[in-house]
């Protein structure tokens, strides 16, 4: 079992729909990243959070440390939101930090 599990693997939505992507992890972490990857391959960090909730524009990320679960929400989705969304947890071990990634959720928003 992977240390970081995302669901769903693939998600297709109509423009304007509310999107939720889930991430569960099985290890102790110091923080959690939500990342966006477009077809060209570059990765953009959307959020880094260790508790509670963060909001940036139409994106909202929440984390529940006790339940080892995080969600990424997109309100009023748009075709330009189509991308792969990756959850990554930051593990702090032996004086160094390491990101452990989920496999990603491929989101397609149709006009």
Partner 1 sequence: DTGVSQDPRHKITKRGQNVTFRCDPISEHNRLYWYRQTLGQGPEFLTYFQNEAQLEKSRLLSDRFSAERPKGSFSTLEIQRTEQGDSAMYLCASSSGTSGSIYNEQFFGPGTRLTVL
Residues that bind partner 1 (CB under 8 A): 4, 30-31, 33, 35, 40-45, 48, 50, 86, 88, 90, 92, 95-104
Please report how close the Cβ of residue 77 comes to partner 1 at its closest, in angstroms: 22
Q: How far apart are the first and last CA of the chain?
A: 36
CB atoms within 10 A of CB 65: 14
Task: Name which of 7 and 75 has its Cβ closer to partner 1.
Answer: 7
Task: Name which of 19 and 102 has its Cβ closer to partner 1.
Answer: 102
Task: Name which of 74 and 89 has its Cβ closer to partner 1.
Answer: 89
Q: What is the DSSP string of 8-49?
A: -SEEEEETT--EEEEEEE-S--SEEEEEEE-TT--EEEEEEE
Please report how close the Cβ of residue 76 comes to partner 1 at its closest, in angstroms: 26
């Amino acid at each position: 079992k992977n240390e970081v599990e995302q669901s769903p693997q693939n998600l297709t939505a109509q423009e304007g729909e509310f999107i939720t992507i889930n991430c569960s992890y099985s290890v102790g972490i110091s923080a959690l990243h939500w990342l966006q990857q477009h077809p060209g391959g570059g990765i953009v960090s959307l959020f880094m959070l260790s508790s509670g909730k963060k909001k940036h524009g139409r994106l909202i990320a929440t984390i529940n440390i006790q339940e080892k679960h995080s969600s990424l929400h997109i309100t009023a989705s748009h075709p330009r939101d189509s991308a792969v969304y990756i959850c990554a947890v930051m593990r702090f071990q032996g004086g160094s930090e390491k990101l452990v990634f989920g496999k990603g959720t491929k989101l397609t928003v149709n006009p």
